[in-house]
Amino acid sequence: MNVYDFTVKDNKGNDVSLSEYKGKVLLIVNTATKCGLTPQYEDLGEFSGILPSFS
C-alpha cells in the first residue's frame, strides 16, 4: 500500500483520493487536535510563501 491508495476528507468534508496528487508535491500534516503541538499550525502559513516555486 502506498500514499496514493488513501482517500481523505477535504476541508468541506468531501472525499479526495490522494492519487489525484500523483506527480505533485504533497505535504501531509497529521496532528491530533488536542496535541500540545497544535500551536505550530501557525507555522504552516510560512509554506504559502514557497508554494509558487513548486508550480
Does the predicted model carry a pTM greater than 0.85? no
CA of 5: how far to CAs of 8, 11, 17, 39, 41, in Å? 10, 20, 7, 30, 26
- How would you classify the pairing of strands 7-9 and 15-17? antiparallel
Tell me if residue 16 is catalytic.
no
Q: What are phi and psi of 24, to 5 degrees?
A: -115, 160
pLDDT of residue 23: 92
pLDDT tens profile 5-55: 999 998 899 999 999 999 988 888 777 777 776 777 777 777 777 777 776
* CA gap 14, 16 in Å, rounded: 6
Instruction: Say which of 3, 35, 44, 51 is annotated catalytic.
Output: 35
CB 31 within 8 A of CB 37: yes
